[in-house]
Structure 1
Amino acid sequence: MRVFLAILAICLSSAAHADGGLFSMQSREDGRMWEAVGRLELAGNAFCTGALIAPDLVLTAAHCLYDSASGAPVAVEDIQFLAGWRSGRASAYRRVRRAMAHPDYDFDAPASADRVGRDIALIELQLPIRNTTITPFQTGPHPRRGAEVSVVSYAHDRSEAPSLQGLCNVLDRQKRAFVLSCQVDFGSSGSPVFSFEGGTPRIVSVISAKADAKGMPVSLGAELDTSLATLRAAMSVDSVRETVSAGMRRETGAKFIRP
């Protein structure tokens, strides 16, 4: 299946409303299972969607870490995660310690299945979220063609509450990218794609783009299996390097002794 890519832009907030095929989780009761999905505020004028996969780690799309106009990385001090954001309030607010895109992701690369397949990022929070109502999601193996999945997302026209997509399907796989029948819109970048096989929701992909397939609107998701392992390894190496550098700075400070 050939698709024409249109990478999702990150849009400003606007009032939310229910859309066809989407269930808007306006109340805490409706969204009780999904509090670990939240809005990522970016420099105060844009947002993406992200989801906790550990108390201090948010999974999202790599392109969310860049300013869509200039292509410059968004400063970590300008990123905030709002877990379970709903009607002007969040279940938890966290600032960001560091953010890392997949090491092979290229923001300036032309739209392609390869770019989509590497469009994932991890955001480490300054403080972990330890709240009994907010449980990080597990990740799972990539879905097979024809599998039923679902998406929880925010978007420009439903930015004040998360929406749950009724079951949609994996239509095709192109290299590391999945073609999905799920509905997404501007602001849905980074949204978790869930499989319910085994009875427990597991994140099996991350929304990267919306596209067109023979006149039918589709969404594109990044593979997690290999890409997430690569990203975790890169983040671990970066953490070790940071720790060693800090230790060297402490140990090599000059000491002046009065004769």
Structure 2
Amino acid sequence: MQTKRPARFFALRAGGSFLKSRLSAGALALAAGVGLTLPPHPAAAVGPDYRTHLAGVTPFADPRQRVSTARPPWSAIGRVQTELGSRCTGFLISPVLVETAAHCLWLAHPQRFIQPGSVHFLRAYSGDSFTAHARVVRFIVPPDYSPNRETQSAGLDHATLVLDHPVARPDEVFHITTTPEDIKPGMAAILGGYEQNMPDVITADLHCHMTGLTQDGTGNLLLSHDCAGTHGSSGAPLLYQNASGWHVLGVQVLANTAHAGGKAVPLLALPNAVPAQAGTQ
């Protein structure tokens, strides 16, 4: 049985067992083009009343805006979607490696990770177009991460996807160099992904901040921020920019229930990970 997540936060996966929304008509057409088999999509709710019920977004004060996938940093981000209909956000850290949230790959029934070959990455996906498509051949999850114990292991909610072919040049991906020691409360941050109410484009909060460091129930580090981001933004990079370029602070995994903000996993603070059972088959 799936355990409940902490009352203050929601996991951010869209589709599947975490959220019963489905892909839009445009996404279904795209899926047909790349050989995916996805469930039908009901009419999506829109408008201010819908926005007030989005976890991770302050009611009546939604700062998110659509951004173009044609230029950095958004060109290194893509949609992670499965043939069962669930979807999240992911980002490239090498031409063949994508980072996302581990809970995006979990099947509540029958309590296991999805088969890698059922996972696809659509780089710079926007509406009816994308820069590149690849299938996942293997993924790596920290061994102590448990989707059924989110309060205890949220700081390990991270997965590395190995693609079946390169989808970018080395100079088009994020290079992970930021450590938790580099992150200070109040520093500027940016968060954007394929979110519940606009799943076919990237929407982003371009003017938010880090608020501090915290831990899950077993002491794994998490980064707190006040960036607006809701279901579907799981796996998105929490970013900042300086004179040397774009930097990844962490991987978005949790959203506050009543106001903007959430938690991200710092990549360089993770223990050595080993392949999850499903990722090695």
Match of 1:98 among 126, 134, 138: 138
CA distance in 1, matches of 2:203, 2:117: 28
Quote the Cα distance in structure 2 between the aligned partners of 1:16 and 1:40.
22
1:190 alignment counterpart = 235
- Residue of structure 1 equivalent to 2:245: 200
- The letter for the 2-side match of 1:138 is H
Q: Is the 8 A contact 2:123 2:167 kept in 1?
A: no
Q: Does 1:225 align with 2:268?
A: yes
Give deviations 1:77-117, integer Å, cap 9, x for gaps: 110000000112210000111011112211211x32x4221
Hey, which bits of structure 1, 4+ residues long, moved more than 4 A? Answer: 15-19
Please give the alpha-carbon distance, in whole angstroms, between the structure 1 residues aligned to 2:74 and 2:45: 17
Task: Name the CA shift for 1:188/1:70 in 2 (closer, same or farther; >3 Å).
Answer: farther
The structure having more radius of gyration, on CA atoms, is 1
Residue 138 (structure 1) aligned with residue 175 (structure 2): yes
Q: 1:211 corresponds to which residue?
A: 256
Q: Percent identity?
A: 22
TM-score (norm 2): 0.72
What secondary structure, in the 3-state scheme, does the structure 2 residue paired with 1:103 have?
Answer: coil
State the SS of the aligned residue for 2:272. helix
Query: Which residue does 1:154 correspond to in 2?
Result: 194
Counterparts of residues 54-203 of structure 1 (less than 5 Å): 54-68=94-108, 70-109=110-149, 111-112=150-151, 114-131=152-169, 135-139=172-176, 140-142=178-180, 143-175=183-215, 176-203=221-248
Which of the residues 66, 77, 100 maps onto 1:24? 66
- The number of equivalent residue pairs is 226
Q: 1:250 maps to which residue? A: none
Contact 1:16 1:158 in 2 (8 A): no
Residue type at the aligned position of 1:107: P
Instruction: Name the CA shift for 1:10/1:28 in 2 (closer, same or farther; >3 Å).
Output: closer
Give the partner amino acid of 1:119. Answer: D
Alignment gaps of 5+ in structure 2: 1-5, 16-21, 25-43, 52-61, 216-220
Q: Deviations over 1:13-66 (max 9, x none)?
A: 2479898312202x554x454211000011241101000000110011111111
| Structure 1 runs not aligned, ≥5 long | 243-259
Aligned amino acid, residue 261 of structure 2: V
Question: Cα distance 1:98–1:192, how it changes in 2: closer, same or farther (>3 A)?
Answer: same
What is the TM-score normalised by the length of structure 1? Answer: 0.78
State the distance in 1 between where 2:231 and 2:109 align: 15
